[in-house]
A and B are shown apart, each in its own frame.
Chain A
Amino acid sequence: MWTRLDRKERGPGFLHGQRTGWTAGSGGRASNRNPMLEGMYSAAAGMAAQQQRLDALSNDVANAGTIGYQRQRIAFRDLVYTPSGPGGQAGVMEGSGAAAVTIGRGGSGGSYKPTGSALDVAIEGDAYLQVRRPDGTNALTRNGALTLDVQRRLLADGLPLQPPVRIPEGVDENDISIAADGRVSAGDRQLGTITLFSVRAADRLLPVGGNLYVPTDASGPATRAGADAALRQGVVETSDVDLGDVMADMIVTQRAYQLASRAISTQDEMARVANEVKK
């Protein structure tokens, strides 16, 4: 997410179809630069940036119904400026396009939808459920639609909660009550506690698919959430994706993509004209 590649790496990267992480470093241009192709690469970089945004928007649309999904934030920036070729006087600069980077997840949060199911919990506040993945590592999720497996362990996203909570045989699912602090009980019988976790910089969590996130150095480790995080039984948090907004963004993104592609075809036309100087 934070990788910075030198611009010189862009040529081969472009040919091999790598899209993300095209950013300019401080190294400037390669010395054997071709002024005619520079504009094409600038426009291509702009197209790649728009493509990255389009990918993120598509992912948002696909997850418009995913419980606890938070939309991706993409930020654009312009790339390094270098002195122009022989057609400009000293001090005239040419930019080299645009780049996009994911800067975490949307922060506005979804709304809560009542389901009436005893095993559905919504997380209030910036906290997560922790689950144990099959490879033994932990991951975080905001998907509070809990289920039970054959060993009667509570699962979130199909993975056992960590620390685990087990519902004994004979306890009916509908009799389970989950308190705001996470204590699970059936009648006056205590069955365990669902622990909530939080990280320092939640939008720096690494999404690993399936609604799961893992902490990174940038996000900080997962620690027990403070008192402002709470569980609400019988409701789920909906996705914060607004389809109308996403559709509008997609149209804008596609138009911006087209603009950059027009720049490429114009540069191509200029190359043709230059080639025909000598008939």
Chain B
Amino acid sequence: MERGLYIAASGMLAEQVRQNQISHDLANASTAGYKADRSSQRAFGDLLLSNTATGAVVGPLGAGAQIAETVTDLSAQPLRVTDEPLDFAIEGDGFFAVRTDAGVRYTRNGAFTTGPGGILVDQLGNPVLTQNGQTIRVGSDGAVDPGRLGVFALNNAEKTGDSLFTGNPAGQADGRVTSGALEGSGVDPAKAMVEMIASLRSFEAGQKAIQTIDETLRKATTQVGTVTGF
């Protein structure tokens, strides 16, 4: 019977993870080029119960749930026009490349600016690269020809924070770079709110299950064996 406590608790822990991920998504509702996450829950392996006296099979018993994996939805989002000459967006697939201290990283967040030495850098000062891996000089008019920015196809893209992705570059992607626009965030606020409420209610259901089991256990320990009338 006490196994049920742990099953319910594991469900609550999984909802907590989901809730943290939704909070993160909502915090990035206006982060340009942000890609939202989708989580999937999976049950632990089922246990097959059998009657200890007779050996007869009783049936399977779940052992709780966990967030099994997080998948990043990399689909392109609508562009938002900003008219800033150093805002860039990729129409279609592909990533910009920037050179960081840890190596080349990829991003869809094209809010770039002029860095030391007059080169195009991202918001953390990492130089933006051309298709050949060279830095890009900002023109004297404060603009850059969008065609000079490299657009890379990326396999196994994985978010690392700071709007950057790691992955294996696979040549040029077919996306086209536009200046004066940013890619919108991949977060759908309405959907995130609905998921947040659903997750909260699942969490509450887990709590109720624990309380009910607790109550059953209380009865087992205090009432069974009580001989009333004496």
Given contacts A88-B66, A92-B70, A259-B29, contact A80 B17 (CB under 8 A): no
Taken residue by residue from 235 to 276, chain A's Cβ proximity to chain B (1 for < 8 Å, 0 otherwise) reads as 000000000000000001101100110111011011001101
Choose the segment among A34-42, A133-141, A154-162 that binds chain B (4+ C-beta atoms closer than 8 Å).
A34-42
Contact yes or no, A42 B17, CB < 8 A: no
Contact yes or no, A76 B69, CB < 8 A: no
Q: In whole angstroms, how far apart are the Cα atoms of A203 and B119 in the complex?
A: 12
B residues near A16, Cβ cutoff 8 Å: none
A residues near B39, Cβ cutoff 8 Å: 88, 92
Interface residue from B86, B115, B162, B200 paired with A266 (Cβ < 8 Å): B200
Contact yes or no, A201 B118, CB < 8 A: yes
A residues near B12, Cβ cutoff 8 Å: 87, 274
Taken residue by residue from 72 to 104, chain A's Cβ proximity to chain B (1 for < 8 Å, 0 otherwise) reads as 010111111100111111011111111001011
Q: Which residue of chain B has the shortest Cβ distance to A218 in the bound complex? A: B116
B residues near A169, Cβ cutoff 8 Å: none
Contact yes or no, A253 B30, CB < 8 A: yes
A residues near B142, Cβ cutoff 8 Å: 107, 126, 202-203
In this assembly, does A113 line the interface, its C-beta being within 8 Å of a C-beta of chain B? no
Q: In whole angstroms, how far apart are the Cα atoms of A238 and B13 in the complex?
A: 56
Q: In whole angstroms, how far apart are the Cα atoms of A220 and B117 in the complex?
A: 8
Taken residue by residue from 8 to 49, chain B's Cβ proximity to chain A (1 for < 8 Å, 0 otherwise) reads as 001011111111111111111111101001010010000000
Q: Which residue of chain A has the shortest Cβ distance to B83 in the bound complex? A: A108
Nearest CB of chain A from residue B156's CB, rounded to whole Å? 13
In this assembly, does A228 line the interface, its C-beta being within 8 Å of a C-beta of chain B? yes
Say what secondary structure dominates the interface of chain B. mixed
Contact yes or no, A204 B113, CB < 8 A: yes
In this assembly, does B124 line the interface, its C-beta being within 8 Å of a C-beta of chain A? yes
Q: In whole angstroms, how far apart are the Cα atoms of A43 and B21 in the complex?
A: 10
Q: In whole angstroms, how far apart are the Cα atoms of A264 and B66 in the complex?
A: 23
Nearest CB of chain B from residue A39's CB, rounded to whole Å? 4
Q: Which residue of chain A has the shortest Cβ distance to B5 in the bound complex? A: A277
Report the interface size class on chain B.
Answer: 35 or more
Q: Which one of A80, A107, A204 has the greatest number of beta carbons of chain B within 10 Å? A: A107
Contact yes or no, A77 B162, CB < 8 A: yes
In this assembly, does A172 line the interface, its C-beta being within 8 Å of a C-beta of chain B? no
Q: Which one of B39, B70, B140, B203 has the greatest number of beta carbons of chain A within 10 Å? A: B70
Closest 7 CB pairs of A and B: A46-B27, A87-B13, A75-B111, A95-B24, A80-B161, A39-B23, A39-B20
Residues of B participating in the A interface, judged by any CB pair closer than 8 Å: 10, 12-32, 34, 37, 39, 42, 66-70, 83-86, 102, 109, 111-118, 123-125, 138, 140-143, 159-163, 189, 192-193, 196-197, 200, 203-204, 207, 210-211, 214
Q: A94-B20, A107-B85 provided; 20 other pairs, C-beta below 8 A?
A: A46-B28, A53-B30, A76-B34, A78-B28, A78-B161, A85-B13, A87-B14, A88-B67, A92-B67, A93-B70, A97-B24, A107-B84, A107-B143, A226-B140, A228-B140, A256-B30, A260-B23, A260-B26, A273-B207, A274-B203
